[in-house]
A and B are shown apart, each in its own frame.
Chain A
Amino acid sequence: MHKKVAIIGSVGSGKTTMVEQLSNIEPLNTDVQATEKIGKELTTVGIDYGWLAVNDEITLGLYGVPGQKKFSVVWDFVKQGLWAVIILVKNNDPNSYQQIPHLLRYFDITEHMPCVIGITHADHGCDQQTLAAIRSTLEPFQLNIPTYTIDPRTHASVQLIMQTLISIGEESQ
């Protein structure tokens, strides 16, 4: 059996890093030299892929996909067999979290689908306005989605996200 987790976010939000943290294998990514100033040398133009062996019979595919609408063709592929969604947004970056409503609709995220929002680039703590804006974005959907300040480079953050997804998934059975 193969389950999927989609890790969705804007450029530089930490998707590639998170896939690398979680994956049992060397992640397959499609990084190229960035042609615009985005704060780093390489950027992903397709998806990042990794996987995790849950047991002898079940694997969990990790799909890091861009969050912008123009990449929705990639989303179609990931949507089939999706177990959970991780949305990464950058602290203090409204462009980053303005995509959230569209993602919630497209991936049909309801209270039964495990979903966590991770706020990255928040080394000194999450900006309260970012947190408030995200909560306000979720209100019309009446969804109570965990929103955490995280650092995808750390094991603790990745473990927190996965434990939350597992707990929500278990309660939704």
Chain B
Amino acid sequence: MEILVSTSLKGRDLAIIKSLININNIYGDTQIVYTDENTACQFLITQDLKRQRPSYYALNQLNGEKINITPDLNPQSVRNLFSALANSVPAKQDSSVSTEQAILDYCSSGVSSNNLLIEVFDESVMLDKTKQLLYSTTSINSNLLMQLHKQASRVKLIEREATDTKSYAYCKPLELFNWELGYCHDDQLIDEAFKASDKAFKQVTWPNYGECEFVQEFIKLSSILCKRSETYTQLLKISGYEAHTINQFLNATLIAGHVIVIDNHRPAIKPLKHRHNPFISGLKRLFAFN
């Protein structure tokens, strides 16, 4: 589990917090992660200047609770704080449907009169698959993606006609947002059940690599899956790529709707080796394609 912390403090106090996180940010099962975005963190370390003697505390931005840091801000008191945070925050339930899975289910289901609303901390995003747009109350950047990926969120369907999009300051094409959300997630598949041998992946549309962030390996993976479906294991064998690259590709393409999961009825076959083609080999060298 990760806890995002930030601070409004400067100078010596900022240096203490950041250096402690750099030295050791693991407390039990919890990892403390620092962010510069004060609005994107779960806990904001700050100080109350109104009193005669400034006092430090950590503000839980979800529920407004203050955790005092006593007697003042020093390495030991900050370590005590991080330990207390790790023990107090409930982990995101592994058994619950992840935000990515909820988005995938919503986008891949049929025509609907509903939008999907996701609330995390004080912010919310709304997906409208009819207009293929995403609306957000906060800037749609890597911090938001990290929050949606790591933090527990509230997900619900709401009627499209009842939605007021004017309250959302930011907007982005849904396909691009979904791609970015999946792309930042390479440690595991959005649904580990997709790795089963009776499930295969098939690419139905090519991602627009002219606009999406990608790595070169994605081009080969797209070339494979646009021609035929493959299981996760077969894809690993045929491509020779590491699991995190396959995960990143599949998560991005699945959530963005370029790849679908189908039932696999084909027995596993030994991958065919491409015969040597001097023309292709020459082009690969010229255009730095491995």
A interface residues with partner B (beta carbon < 8 Å): 1, 3, 52, 54-55, 57-58, 60, 83, 111, 118-119, 125-126, 128, 131, 135, 144-150, 157, 159-160, 162-164, 166-173
Cβ of B223 and Cβ of A171 under 8 Å apart? yes
Cβ of B224 and Cβ of A58 under 8 Å apart? no
**Bound-complex Cα distance A164 to B283 (A):** 11
In the complex, 15 of the A-B residue pairs with CB atoms within 8 angstroms, ordered by the A residue number, are A1-B279, A3-B279, A55-B282, A58-B278, A58-B282, A118-B210, A126-B211, A146-B209, A147-B208, A148-B208, A148-B210, A157-B210, A162-B283, A166-B289, A173-B277
Convert B251-290 into 0s and 1s, putting 1 for each residue whose CB lies closer than 8 angstroms to a CB of A: 0000000000000000000000011011110111011110
Cβ of A54 and Cβ of B286 under 8 Å apart? yes
Convert B45-88 into 0s and 1s, putting 1 for each residue whose CB lies closer than 8 angstroms to a CB of A: 00000000000000000000000000000000000000000000
* Given A54-B283, A128-B132, A170-B223, A160-B275 contact (CB < 8 Å): no
Q: Is the interface of A mostly helix, strand, loop or mixed?
A: mixed
**Bound-complex Cα distance A84 to B286 (A):** 16
B interface residues with partner A (beta carbon < 8 Å): 132, 173, 175, 203-206, 208-211, 216, 219-220, 222-224, 226-227, 274-275, 277-280, 282-284, 286-289
**Bound-complex Cα distance A54 to B280 (A):** 9
Chain B contacts for A167, CB-based, 8 A:
219-220, 222-223, 289
Cβ of A173 and Cβ of B275 under 8 Å apart? yes
Cβ of A166 and Cβ of B206 under 8 Å apart? no
Query: Smallest Cβ distance from A50 to chain B, in angstroms?
Result: 14
Cβ of A164 and Cβ of B278 under 8 Å apart? no
Chain A contacts for B204, CB-based, 8 A:
144
Cβ of B279 and Cβ of A54 under 8 Å apart? yes
Query: Smallest Cβ distance from B225 to chain A, in angstroms?
Result: 9
Q: Which of these, B208, B278, B283, contacts A166 with CB under 8 Å? A: B283
Cβ of B284 and Cβ of A55 under 8 Å apart? no
Cβ of A60 and Cβ of B283 under 8 Å apart? yes
* Given A55-B278, A55-B282, A128-B173, A164-B287 contact (CB < 8 Å): no
Cβ of A164 and Cβ of B219 under 8 Å apart? yes
**Bound-complex Cα distance A135 to B175 (A):** 14
